Amino acid sequence: MLGNFSYCNPTKLYFGEDSLNYLNTELPKYGKRVVLIYGGGSIKKSGIYDEVIKILNANGKNVAEISGVMPNPTIDKLYEGVEIARRHQADFLLAVGGGSVCDYAKAVSVSVNCEEDPWEKYYLRFEEPTCETLPVGCVLTMVGTGSEMNAGAVITNPHTRQKIGHVFADEKIMPKFAVLNPKYTLTLPHYQMVAGIYDIFNHICEQYFSGEDDNVSDYISEGLMHSVIHASRIANKDPQNYEARSNLMWAATWALNTLISRGKSTDWMVHMIGQSVGAYTNATHGMTLAAVSLPYYRYILPYGIQKFKRFAVNVWNIDPAGKSDEQVAKEGLSAMESWMKELGLVMNISELGATADMLEGIADGTIILPGGYKVLQHKEIVEILMESLA
Ligand code: NZQ
Ligand code: ZN
């Protein structure tokens, strides 16, 4: 375990079938003027909306709403929400939905009292808020992003074809609390469920595939990966299996709540390439990751061979006896590929709407990060993207 770090995660979690009741514990801690934020209507269909409104009313809250937060929320939607929150003089933001809704609530939180343009300040200059921010609470309905317990907020600018995530350094941007009721996730379409599962798995990979030191984070990561693979196979065959879905929900939170990145440089290039694919196609986040992962990992494998070998042996139970390190490492990725196909993930970017003429632009929009086993050049990103076409 090398390096220097601090660790603090102040988000309080309420987990399980009865967890929504704890809104009654949390809401009295904040002011009367609440903005309820949600997506395109799934919470109205499932009845979660009615339950939440009932609790807000019982707690005497004055509620305004921001509805229609789309998957991959846009900067224009952010401007609209900031105006609503300002007009309502909001004291508190309650996000009810998936990662998009939770991310969006955090973006509103840092923008309401900000006089500068949030896109330029937070997404182009990556600055921290210099204004007062609003507290955010989350009721999670879709599993994958970890947004319920981190300070990330991803926003898409369709005008410039950029999808950018800002992970704020200040832990006060993390939600004050999150309600995690696995039952809420049972209404997710299969496509969203498996996209979320791969998102979890890839968050772990992004942190695991970095560094060569002996690090406790890597052992935790391997445990989480085992749990995700096991639960995903059950949930894929039997989506209503509460035990599997609850394990996926808990694993997702721990996959990206800053714990397993401690002492690690972290990679994140699958996310950087996937996000740029998302900016061009508006595709589902987890599917963009699935579509670029194998070409990326096969490309960087020679630069991190020992870790890929460890991944093969410890995560995919590949027997290393009598094989070269490279052979073992490659067999690990093949096992991962079989699992991905078993889940029905999208394995190429063509299926997501990307075409050959977009590749230069997608590579231009990819933010290159230095923490993995190889710092990519622009032309290498284009090559990886070409491999990701059908
Ligand atoms: O909008 P509604 O009607 O609610 O429908 C949503 C949406 O269409 C639906 N859904 C959610 N819960 C449901 C449900 N449908 C039925 N039953 C339910 N219980 O699912 C669709 C997708 O929802 P969304 O919130 O977009 O999915 P996800 O949680 O994957 O969030 C994706 C966003 O999070 C960002 C992504 O880039 C993307 O913008 N990320 C945020 C991260 C973070 N904060 O750290 C990290 C991630 O890597 C990711 O980048
Ligand atoms: Zn992700």
pLDDT digits (tens, 9 = 90+) for 78-106: 999 999 999 999 999 999 999 999 999 99
Task: Take residue 249 and report the two structure tokens written for it.
Answer: 């929900």
Mean pLDDT over 327-339 rounds to: 99
**What pLDDT shows up at residue 241?**
98
**What pLDDT shows up at residue 106?**
98
- Of all protein residues, the one whose alpha carbon is nearest to atom 16 of ligand 1 is 188
Does residue 1 have a pLDDT over 90?
A: no
* 142-169 confidence digits (pLDDT tens): 999 999 999 999 999 999 999 999 999 9
Atom of ligand 1 nearest to the CA of 286: 30
Q: Which ligand is nearest to the CA of 200?
A: 2
In the predicted model, what is the mean pLDDT of the chain?
98
Q: Which ligand is nearest to the CA of 73?
A: 1
% of the chain beyond a pLDDT of 90: 99
* 109-149 confidence digits (pLDDT tens): 999 999 999 999 999 999 999 999 999 999 999 999 999 99
Cβ partners under 8 Å of residue 85, min gap 6: 35, 64, 66, 93, 108, 112, 134
Does residue 18 have a pLDDT over 90?
A: yes
Cα 76–Cα 82–Cα 84 angle in degrees, nearest 5: 110
Residue 67: band (very low, low, confident or very high) from pLDDT cuts 50, 70, 90: very high
Q: Is 137 in the pocket of ligand 1 (CB under 6 A)?
A: no
**What pLDDT shows up at residue 57?**
98
**What pLDDT shows up at residue 3?**
82
Mean pLDDT over 300-314 rounds to: 98
Residue 246: band (very low, low, confident or very high) from pLDDT cuts 50, 70, 90: very high
**What pLDDT shows up at residue 2?**
79
Instruction: Kindly state the helix (H) or strand (E) to which residue 213 belongs, with its residue range.
Output: none
Q: What is the CA radius of gyration of the chain?
A: 20
Report whether 52 contacts 94 (CB < 8 A): yes
Cβ partners under 8 Å of residue 319, min gap 6: none
pTM of structure? 0.98
69 C-alpha to ligand 2 centroid (Å) = 18
* 364-376 confidence digits (pLDDT tens): 999 999 999 999 9
Counting ligand 1 atoms within 8 A of each CB, the residue from 66, 123, 142, 266 with the most, and so the one to mutate, is: 142
310 C-alpha to ligand 1 centroid (Å) = 32
